[in-house]
Amino acid sequence: MSKVPARFHSCNRALTSFVLLAGFAVLGANAQVVAQSAPRPEALIKWRQSAFQVVAWNSGRIKAALANGDAQEVRTAAAALAGVANSGLTTLFPATTAQGKGWRETTARAEIFSDPEKFRALTQEFAREATELARLAAATDQAATGAQFAKVAKTCKSCHDKFRQTD
Question: Over the stretch 93-131, which tens digit does the pLDDT of each residue have?
Answer: 999 999 999 999 999 999 999 999 999 999 999 999 999
With a CB cutoff of 8 Å and minimum separation 6, the contacts of 41 are 94, 96, 97, 100
> Angle at Cα 65 formed by Cα 56 and Cα 72, nearest 5°?
105
pLDDT at res. 166: 82
With a CB cutoff of 8 Å and minimum separation 6, the contacts of 37 are none
What is the rounded distance in angstroms from the CA atom of residue 151 to the CA atom of residue 11?
Answer: 71
- Helix, strand counts (H, E) of the chain: 6, 0
Domain that holds residue 3: 1-38
What are the angstrom distances between the C-alpha of 63 and each of 91, 103, 148, 150?
28, 26, 12, 10
Same domain, residue pair 93 and 20:
no
Same domain, residue pair 71 and 142:
yes
pLDDT at res. 81: 97
> Which band of pLDDT confidence, cut at 50, 70 and 90, is reported for residue 79?
very high
> Which band of pLDDT confidence, cut at 50, 70 and 90, is reported for residue 37?
confident
Residue 27 has pLDDT above 70, yes or no: no
Same domain, residue pair 70 and 97:
yes
**Residue of 32 and 61 predicted with greater confidence:** 61
Residue 36 has pLDDT above 60, yes or no: no
Query: How many domains does the chain contain in total?
Result: 2
Same domain, residue pair 34 and 94:
no
Residue 16 has pLDDT above 70, yes or no: no
